[in-house]
Amino acid sequence: MLDDLAAGHVGLGTVWLLGVSMGLTACTVTCLPFMGTWALGRSSGTAEAFRHTAVFLAGRVLMYTLLATSAGMAGLHLARLLGGTWGNALIGGASIGAGLWLIVRAHVAGCRPKRPTAQPVRFQRRADAAPPFALGATLALTPCTPLASLLALAAQSGSALSGASYGLAFGLGAAMTPILILVPLAGRLGRELRVGRPWLSRWLIWASAAVLILLGLRRLLA
């Protein structure tokens, strides 16, 4: 199928299936350490975990569409540039930003007047969806064979519109991923760990933030 992609002898359905194959395999391995750690640190409820995962996947779909569009317009040069040093820098920055976001939000929530409750401090805001979106968009730049084949097909089309359609189909396929289940489970694990251990709440946040920052630094130094 990859040879057919490179030759341009495929339709949108095949491109979508290529995205599905990546979403079920490489996407899970690459993305779960980032999103799983985020949900664990926040001890996300089911609704929040699904919402943040959906935002994360929306960022991936958008970036795949933009990459394929750029490949259709200008060939592979820009896409390859983003998938190399710049891609790792963006992924690293997004991961470090997510870790710092956890720390800052926890600090702000901790500074508010406390109400008598047995539940851990919550710090839900609409803006909290920004780190998952940034992680999704930047992790789409991770080089892999399916993505390279998508960009080769988009570049061969020579059309921004065709490239965008290929990228959108690929991204929607890649959104079919087990992290839709695994990320909420990570959030549930965080909630379970905190039950009866209020002292663990801040430690869990800081530990998750440290993991995200280390993952980001690893990308920056790659």
CA dist 147 and 166 (Å) reads 11
CA dist 5 and 150 (Å) reads 7
Which of 26, 34, 37, 35 has its CA nearest to residue 173?
26
pLDDT of residue 105: 84
- On the CB side of 218, how many CA atoms lie within 13 Å of its CA? 9
Angle between helices 130-139 and 46-74 (to 10 degrees): 40
CA dist 25 and 200 (Å) reads 33
Greater pLDDT, 2 or 118: 2
When the pLDDT of each residue in the chain is averaged and rounded to a whole number, the result is 85
**Residue 83: pLDDT band with limits 50, 70, 90:** low
CA dist 24 and 16 (Å) reads 12
pLDDT, tens digit, for every residue of 47-74? 999 999 999 999 999 999 998 998 888 7
